[in-house]
């Protein structure tokens, strides 16, 4: 724990809690690995049974690859023995065998099935995996550097000894007894399996300590803000320093409650926010078409994209050189992908908001846009992708089968300038429906000046409740005098609701509102 940022002498109860959690996690790992072994129909536990359990944690898998690879290097380098001087003289020009770091491959990697065909790409794949493991190592070295900056020589020697601590090195029997290995697996386990279990134990302690420190930091910040609120009348009280007071930078040990909260967070499963049945568009030609046809010249405009997902459309919009792009994404799991895209956007992407667009507080966004373009803020147009059926409903003309409640409500506020379709073959996986791309322009003056009210929505909704009925028959149960009212507002009562224009529905609504007549 000291290696990962905790104080040199942690609390006994905290250390005991970390040990108990680590032991329980190791035991559960053994049980699940043995279960997988039994499902394979094998009596002998293999390293891949353990590796299969962590296959979704890519960073941990890459670190384990690196760990096993360098362990193989050390094992091979120790087998050479001593070289005599006369041997060096005689075979000076001979070709010397080199110890090569072995690349660890896992059976569930589909690419391994085609390794002979795609052998040229192995180096690139290895470089990517090595780079990710290297980045994790650099991040941990930075933490170690911060921890050791103010250490004395004796403290650093102790810290170095702690870094070399292991669950299994020269204490394999104690480790087996500690995790009660023989109770879950009858056969003798390979050394490689015990090394992997020791590595996983090291990772568990690391995660518990680092997450506990993060929890402690968050709670301390909240406590400090609350303290400032409580002492708001004594503005200088927080800044006072006393002769025998503790240093502001003195680190306090982790409490068991910090470890418990850290463990709780680590057990949370990041499920999707909803059952995603959509598809990702991967065709560059289609993306360019959708953006170029769906957008005006963006060189001096600000773009707000709702639900960028993996950023496919965003990349195409960046190429049009807008003044700024703001992203609103609901799923926090996509944040890292969008942040990486922002770093590559040449400052085109100004800010990313992780929030639900339906409940999004627009103040923060408006402040950002006001700071960029304080004199000119208005929505020129909006481009949306809908299922083709929804696109037909939004743009349906009077007398067509797709015209309905949604059409009339939409028509009071917006108009559709352009519309085109993308076939399902443009998406992967292929959906069952085509996609409509609509360029929507808000009306400068809505057809209902005061906006769409609940009453207008009720009039339109009840008109379309009964299919294949005339407007008179649809509303007569809700309003007794509807027949005479339709004559007054010059609407043919024998027409069906889908044959009426939005203006005719507005005339009916205006008359009902003016005469205090409610559709019930």
Q: Which residues line the annotated binding site for S-adenosyl-L-methionine?
A: 307, 329, 357
Q: At what angle do helices 454-463 and 502-514 cross, to 10 degrees?
A: 120
Contact status, residue 295 vs residue 320, Cβ threshold 8 Å: yes
Which residues make beta-bridge pairs with 421? 436
Which residues make beta-bridge pairs with 384? 438
Using CA atoms, how far apart are residues 350 and 248, in angstroms rounded to an integer?
A: 36
Using CA atoms, how far apart are residues 219 and 2, in angstroms rounded to an integer?
A: 21
CA atoms within 13 A on the CB side of 267: 8
Using CA atoms, how far apart are residues 506 and 489, in angstroms rounded to an integer?
A: 10
Which residues make beta-bridge pairs with 67? none
Using CA atoms, how far apart are residues 34 and 51, in angstroms rounded to an integer?
A: 12
Please enumerate, as own/partner, the contacts of 319-325 that have beta carbons within 8 Å and a separation of 24 or more. Answer: 319/288, 320/291, 320/292, 320/295, 321/348, 322/298, 322/348, 323/298, 323/299, 323/372, 323/373, 324/348, 324/349, 324/350, 324/369, 324/372, 325/349, 325/350
Contact status, residue 463 vs residue 475, Cβ threshold 8 Å: yes
Instruction: Round the CA-based radius of gyration of the chain to a whole number and report it.
Output: 34
**Sequence-distant (≥ 6) Cβ neighbours of residue 349 within 8 angstroms:** 314, 318, 324, 325, 326, 327, 338, 341, 342
The annotated binding site is made up of 307, 329, 357
């Amino acid at each position: 724990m000291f290696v990962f940022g905790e104080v040199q002498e942690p609390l006994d109860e905290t250390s005991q809690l970390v040990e108990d959690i680590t032991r329980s996690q190791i035991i559960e790992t053994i049980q699940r690995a043995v279960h997988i072994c039994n499902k394979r129909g094998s009596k002998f536990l293999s390293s891949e049974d353990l590796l299969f359990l962590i296959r979704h944690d890519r960073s941990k898998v890459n670190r384990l690859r690196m760990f096993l690879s360098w362990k193989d290097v050390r094992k091979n380098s120790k087998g050479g023995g001593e070289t005599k001087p006369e041997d060096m003289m005689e075979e000076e020009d001979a070709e010397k065998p080199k110890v090569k770091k072995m690349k660890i491959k896992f059976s569930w990697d589909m690419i391994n099935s085609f390794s002979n065909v795609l052998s040229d790409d192995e180096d690139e794949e290895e470089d990517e995996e090595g780079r990710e493991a290297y980045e994790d190592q650099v991040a941990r070295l930075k933490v170690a550097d911060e921890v050791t900056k103010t250490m004395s020589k004796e403290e650093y020697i102790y810290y170095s000894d702690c870094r070399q601590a292991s669950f299994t090195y020269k204490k394999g029997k104690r480790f087996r007894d500690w995790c009660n290995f023989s109770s879950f697996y009858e056969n003798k386990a390979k050394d490689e399996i015990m090394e992997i279990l020791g590595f996983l134990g090291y990772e568990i302690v690391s995660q518990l300590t680092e997450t506990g420190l993060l929890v402690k930091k968050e709670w301390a910040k909240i406590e400090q803000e609350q303290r400032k609120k409580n002492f708001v009348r004594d503005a200088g009280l927080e800044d006072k320093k006393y002769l025998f007071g503790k240093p502001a930078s003195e680190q306090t040990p982790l409490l068991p409650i910090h470890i418990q909260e850290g463990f709780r967070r680590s057990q949370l499963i990041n499920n999707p926010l909803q059952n995603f049945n959509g598809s990702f568009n991967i065709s560059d030609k289609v993306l360019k078409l959708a953006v170029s046809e769906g957008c005006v010249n963006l060189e001096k405009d600000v773009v707000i994209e709702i639900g960028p997902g993996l950023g496919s459309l965003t990349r195409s919009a960046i190429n049009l050189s807008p003044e700024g792009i703001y992203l609103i994404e609901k799923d926090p799991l996509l944040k890292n992908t969008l942040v990486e895209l922002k770093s590559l956007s040449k400052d085109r992407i100004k800010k990313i908001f992780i929030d639900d667009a339906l409940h999004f507080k627009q103040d923060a966004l408006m402040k950002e846009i006001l700071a960029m373009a304080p004199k000119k803020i208005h929505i020129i147009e909006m481009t949306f992708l809908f299922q083709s059926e929804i696109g037909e409903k939004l743009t349906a003309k009077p007398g067509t089968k797709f015209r309905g409640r949604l059409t009339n409500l939409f028509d009071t506020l917006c108009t559709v300038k352009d519309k085109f379709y993308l076939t399902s073959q443009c998406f992967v996986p292929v959906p069952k429906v085509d996609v409509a791309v609509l360029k929507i322009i808000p009306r400068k003056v809505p057809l209902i000046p005061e906006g769409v009210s609940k009453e207008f929505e009720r009039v339109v909704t009840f008109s379309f409740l009964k299919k294949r009925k005339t407007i008179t028959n649809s509303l007569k149960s809700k309003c007794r005098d509807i027949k005479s009212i339709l004559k007054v507002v010059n609407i043919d009562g024998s027409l069906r609701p889908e044959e009426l224009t939005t203006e005719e529905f507005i005339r009916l609504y205006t008359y009902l509102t003016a005469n205090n007549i409610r559709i019930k």
